Amino acid sequence: MIIPKDGDQVEIQSYKHNGALHRVWEETTVLKSHSNILIGGNDHVKVIESDGRTWRTREPAITYFTSNYWFNIISMLRNDGVYYYCNISSPFIVDDEALKYIDYDLDIKVFPDGTYKILDEDEFDVHRKQMNYPEVLQKILYKQLRTLEQWVQQGKGPFNPEFPEKWYERYLTYSK
């Protein structure tokens, strides 16, 4: 696996279990990277959907990828507070093309007051049947969903209130 340097720009590519490209974020600035973690920042980045449709994110975001867990976390810094969008996903890899992971549909949206909502369970149910997710994979994904819920409840890692602020300040030093 390639380990990008702080300040490098990386593309983020999300795939589905069957290998189909799901979504691409054109550029994210690497803020911290080593073998099992990558923290990045972006703002108004271009996103390309699998159907070719494009859009831009509306606010600055701090991304947190780890190879130790089956999820990634996006902190979205909005005027009314920090929102989090968390994807249950494979651990990430980085090659000479992009940071890559498999999106497994289940998501958690966390609101500024700390409340959260599990999303897309219906989509997960359809895809697990369509793409024949092995039973062992389904167990891993649900276990990781519970771990992610614990992180949210405990304010761990990216859910620590200081995390998005610290890394956004670092991002601003690269974006000037």
- 23 labelled catalytic: yes
Residue (of 119, 114, 32, 43) closest to 76 by Cα position: 43
Q: Which two tokens stand for residue 33?
A: 């990277």
Helix (H) or strand (E) holding 175: helix 162-175
**C-beta of residue 172 within 8 angstroms of C-beta of residue 31:** no
Nearest-angstrom CA–CA distance, 133 and 159? 29
The DSSP result for 62-125, as a single string, is EEEEESSSSEEEEEEEETTEEEEEEEEEPPPEE-SS-EEEEEEEEEEEE-TTS-EEEE-HHHHH
Residue 55: is it exposed, middle or buried by C-beta count within 10 angstroms (0-12/13-18/19+)? exposed
Please identify every residue annotated as catalytic: 23
